[in-house]
Amino acid sequence: MTAISETLNDSELANRAMEELSKCLTYPKIGAAVSRSGVLLSTGFRGEVSGKHAERVAIEKLNSEQLRGATIHTTLEPCAEIYEGQREKSCCELIADSGISTVCIGALDPSGRIYSKGMNFLRDNRLTVELFSPSIRQKIESSTFKYDDFSGAIGNGKRRVRSVKNGKKFTVQFAEGDERKTSFRLSPLSMPLDHIDLVAANDSVRLAPGINDFSKIPDPMLYQDPSHFARLPEGEIAIIAEPQSTMVLLVKVLEITPTDIYIQWEVRNIRRS
């Protein structure tokens, strides 16, 4: 007599991936579960096998027959190719080549280099891409990264940052090999949650009222009356140009929630005569 395998529904499979996430000992915490027709076939978490991503761990436990037409639930958007000549296939390529046909994603990778690239890659390769339900997604976003470790970045990016009591300072470096930096501080959230205050060096902060798109700011220095701070509702952009610096940092508030702030930034060069 063969045992009848238990069938799991979509949210139960998402929760299995979430359970795997919680086994990770280091950040970012990522878990994955592979299934077919609701039957769990394998699981994996980042670090279960040293140096391997969660998706790879789960996939390498199965053979090609098992993987054909399978579904993978992964708590974080799978990595796409990050740099040319990467030693291993990215998880996206691995998934696309494995025979898996459906990818269910918990949260998009907030690092600027990956954000939505993985999801787009999978769609371009004709895989079905689905998302976890919003309730579990929020739980994942708050447990994947150690937010408070994030205080700096290089180049353009997006990050969901946890709101902390004393505010938080960020420094963005212009690029790899370009040491120019700009810093700013985000104030702690206070009710109502309809804005945040961004503070930077004296006479360095400008506002572009009513403009919600970086590309619509061809010349950041067009905007006058620099101050040391800007009050930013969702969608609004602050322009930070420290006096004498040839680097400009544009910061946009994408979302404000009771626990965190989602920001996007872009670096620019300016000419100082």
Binding site for Zn ion (CB under 5 A): 53, 79, 91
Query: Dihedral of CA 207/210/216/218: which sign?
Result: negative
State how far the Cα of 59 lies from the Cα of 269, in Å rounded to an integer.
44
State how far the Cα of 95 lies from the Cα of 175, in Å rounded to an integer.
31
Cβ 114 to Zn ion, closest distance in Å? 9
Helix (H, G, I), strand (E, B) or coil at 124: helix
Q: Which is nearer to Zn ion, 79 or 161 (CB)?
A: 79
Q: Which is nearer to Zn ion, 51 or 258 (CB)?
A: 51
Cβ 249 to Zn ion, closest distance in Å? 29
Helix (H, G, I), strand (E, B) or coil at 220: helix
Q: Which is nearer to Zn ion, 6 or 84 (CB)?
A: 84
What residue number has its CB nearest to Zn ion? 91
Cβ 79 to Zn ion, closest distance in Å? 3
Cβ 258 to Zn ion, closest distance in Å? 31
Q: How does DSSP classify residue 235?
A: T
Cβ 55 to Zn ion, closest distance in Å? 6
**In Å, how far are 8, 17, 40, 170 from 12, measured between CA atoms?**
6, 9, 10, 38
Q: Read out DSSP for 53-83?
A: -HHHHHHHTS-HHHHTT-EEEEEE------S
Dmax (CA) for the chain in angstroms is 83
Cβ 75 to Zn ion, closest distance in Å? 12
